[in-house]
Amino acid sequence: MGDNKDTPLLAMQGISKSFPGVKALDKVDFQLWPGEVHALVGENGAGKSTLIKILAGVYSMDSGETLIEGKPVDINSPRQASEYGISVVHQEFTLVPQMTVSENIMLSDMPSRPGLRFLVDKKAMASGAREILDDLGVDISVSSPVRSLTVAEQQIVEVAKALSRKTRILVMDEPTAALSNVEVDRLFNVIQALVSKGMAVVYISHKLDEIFRISDRLTVLRDGRVISSSPISHFTRNEVIKQMVGRELTGMYDKPKVDIGKPVMEVGNLLLDPMGQGISFTVHEGEVLGIAGLMGAGQIRLARALFGIERIYGGDVILKGKPMKISSPGKAVRTGIGLVTENRKEEGLVQLLSVSKNITLTVLDNVSHMGVLSHQAEASIVADKIAKLDIKTPSPKQIVMNLSGGNQQKVVLAKWLAVDPDVMIMCEPTRGIDVGAKAEIYRLIGEMACNGKAVLLISSEIPEVVGMSDRVMVMHSGKVVGELTGAECTQEAVMRLATGGSAVGA
């Protein structure tokens, strides 16, 4: 675990914070030592983000104190946090896409030419950026524009940007949400390199397998309180889940047995690229068809094409026996297709609108007459969906961006349940949400199947797609490379196909 000094690098003691109607943190203690990775876990709304925002100077605490190397400090702004060596790498990147890698890394302190303080010394900037990346053991061109990088490379640039500020405490919030297994390995090598030099890392993630792999210690928050904080070796995975949600979560992937009915959507030789290979499949009433593949395999593009966002170059789509030309999302909705997008913040929700307005966005015709909104009709639909999905919100009028990630995802589902589509396409429906909210979304998927809906479940979480699907179709390099069902549908078989191998190991 690195240095074992008597005084922690960071100590947050008795931290409390309230918002109107909510006690976000209640006398929370958190300690961080040099050279360790300390995981911070809890359901959405447990208080993780609030604690980190206090550490980063975004929020002020109501009571308590923060100490760095045993000395009390007041952190009243992000700039002040940076001066104390605290940096946060957020799930949503803060990079400037048009700028180069070196410009992004050195943005907070661009070197100027000797005697010409208003002119940037690009050579020194490139050299400084290259030195940081070399220390991390990664080979990324410092002259490349950030927009040309992969998501994983952008993640590394975010870390390098934090290191340019002489960071001693690095907070990583869901750093692997959009990374492949190989890219996760690369990031973990970077983290290990950092802690070997004495840096301390706060690691926030809902992926418990990663938590157990990378962390030295773990703190569990629930309802704004610390439930436990110990070396990672003192925990089992099931114990962590139980402490996070306050109850046992048994049968996480218990999809109910449903009699598979008639074909709902039949896709024949669909071309996403004029020179590509056609994609064909059928999904039936009451069936969950999993679509698996590594990032960029084409599964997200397929979903967007079926919803009228991406262009289709050829092939047939038949819905309930009728050929369809899905030329726009509006037409997709009218023909009975719903899409839960992979990016709920940018594509799934209007962040500045209320919970109520977001839920009824898809059914405005049902809650208005001749352009005049019926508040009674709107309130009826919204109340039903909030109760059915157990959406935790102080009021239907609450701005949706103020909800936790899990509850935001439920609002996305609520707006589609209001439409009641025949085919529900779900892209990464549990990305970035906690185990309790995941279990509820799995229950809703099972409920949709019981109601005769056809579900396309697209997920990079292989246990999820195997556990919840009746069949799994695997994609690689833009084409379907196999279909698995029954006993042959294992995580290992899915991964072999997704990486370009055969379903059966050598």
Q: Is the pLDDT of residue 161 over 50?
A: yes
Q: Do domains 1-85+168-248 and 263-336+421-498 have the same CATH topology?
A: yes
- The mean pLDDT value of the chain amounts to 87
Contacts of 185 by beta carbon, 8 Å cutoff, 6+ apart: none
- Structure tokens belonging to residue 32: 């961080």
Which pLDDT score is estimated for 256? 84
Segment 312-323, tens digit of pLDDT = 999 999 999 999
Segment 89-138, tens digit of pLDDT = 877 778 888 899 998 888 876 666 665 555 777 888 888 888 888 877 77
Q: What backbone torsions phi and psi does residue 453 show, to the nearest 5 degrees?
A: -80, 155
Segment 172-230, tens digit of pLDDT = 988 887 677 777 888 898 899 889 989 999 999 878 888 999 999 999 998 899 999 99
Q: Is the pLDDT of residue 377 over 90?
A: no
Q: Is the pLDDT of residue 2 over 50?
A: no
In 243-280, which positions are buried (b, 16+ CB within 10 angstroms) versus exposed (e)? bbbeeeeeeebebeebeeeebbbbbeebbbeeeebbbe
Query: Homologous superfamily of 1-85+168-248 in CATH?
Result: P-loop containing nucleotide triphosphate hydrolases (3.40.50.300)
User: If you compute the radius of gyration of the chain from its CA atoms, what whole number of angstroms results?
Assistant: 24
Q: Is the pLDDT of residue 4 over 60?
A: no
Q: What percent of the chain has pLDDT above 70? A: 94
Q: Is the pLDDT of residue 276 over 90?
A: no
Which pLDDT score is estimated for 506? 34
Contacts of 247 by beta carbon, 8 Å cutoff, 6+ apart: none
Q: Is the pLDDT of residue 440 over 60?
A: yes
**Structural contact between residues 106 and 132, judged by C-beta atoms closer than 8 angstroms:** no
351 vs 251, higher pLDDT? 351
- Structure tokens belonging to residue 494: 């899915």
Which pLDDT score is estimated for 69? 94
Which pLDDT score is estimated for 269? 94
The backbone region for 340, taken as left when phi is positive above 0, alpha when psi lies in -120 to 50, beta otherwise, is: beta
Q: Is the pLDDT of residue 1 over 50?
A: no
Segment 446-482, tens digit of pLDDT = 999 999 999 999 988 788 899 999 999 999 888 999 9
- Structure tokens belonging to residue 188: 């973990």
- Residue 128 is classified by DSSP as H
Beta bridge partners of residue 307, listed in sequence order: none
pLDDT band at 485 (very low <50, low <70, confident <90, very high): very high
Which pLDDT score is estimated for 285? 96
Mean pLDDT of the 387-412 span: 87
The backbone region for 41, taken as left when phi is positive above 0, alpha when psi lies in -120 to 50, beta otherwise, is: beta
Q: Is the pLDDT of residue 21 over 70?
A: no
Least confident residue range of 231-235, 284-288, 385-389: 385-389
Identify the CATH class of 263-336+421-498: alpha beta
pLDDT band at 247 (very low <50, low <70, confident <90, very high): low
- Distance, in Å, from the CA atom of 262 to the CA atom of 320, rounded to the nearest integer, reads 8
Domain layout of the chain by residue ranges: 1-85+168-248, 97-167, 263-336+421-498
Segment 346-357, tens digit of pLDDT = 788 888 899 999
Which pLDDT score is estimated for 484? 94
Mean pLDDT of the 362-389 span: 81
- Distance, in Å, from the CA atom of 147 to the CA atom of 155, rounded to the nearest integer, reads 12
Mean pLDDT of the 162-171 span: 86
Which pLDDT score is estimated for 336? 92
**Structural contact between residues 32 and 2, judged by C-beta atoms closer than 8 angstroms:** no
pLDDT band at 64 (very low <50, low <70, confident <90, very high): very high
